[in-house]
Amino acid sequence: MPPEGVAFLFTISIVGGIVLLFPVARALAERIRGRADGGVKEELQMMREDLLAELQQARREIGDLGERMDFAERLLVKKTEQ
C-alpha cells in the first residue's frame, strides 16, 4: 500500500474515532456535572417554591382589588340612583 493510502486511512480512522467518541464523552461530562450540581438543584427548588408563594400572594391581592372595585362600583351606582 502506498504511503498516501496509509495516511488517508490513518486520517479517516482519527476523524471517525472522534465522531464516534464525541457523544460518549459529552454524555460522560453531563453525568459528572450532574453529580456536582446537587446543591444547585436544591437552590432552584427553593427559588421555585419562593416564586410560587409570591405568585399566590399576587393572586390574592388581585382578588382583593377586584372585590374593592366591585364595592366602589356599587357605591357609585347607589349614589347616582339616589
23-60 pLDDT, tens per residue?
Answer: 888 888 887 776 666 677 788 889 999 999 999 999 99
- Please check whether residues 9 and 47 belong to one and the same domain: no
> What is the number of domains present in the chain?
2
- Please check whether residues 23 and 56 belong to one and the same domain: no
Torsion (CA) 59, 63, 65, 71 in degrees, nearest 10: 180
pLDDT of residue 16: 84
Residue 21 identity: L
Range of the domain at 18: 1-36
Q: Coil, strand, or helix at residue 61?
A: helix
54's grid cell: 409570591
pLDDT of residue 1: 59
* Residue-wise DSSP of 22-51: HHHHHHHHHHHHHHHTHHHHHHHHHHHHHH
Task: Identify the CA nearest to 24 among candidates 32, 13, 12.
Answer: 32
d(Cα 16, Cα 14) in Å, to the nearest integer?
Answer: 5
- Please check whether residues 46 and 65 belong to one and the same domain: yes
- Please check whether residues 81 and 60 belong to one and the same domain: yes
pLDDT of residue 36: 60
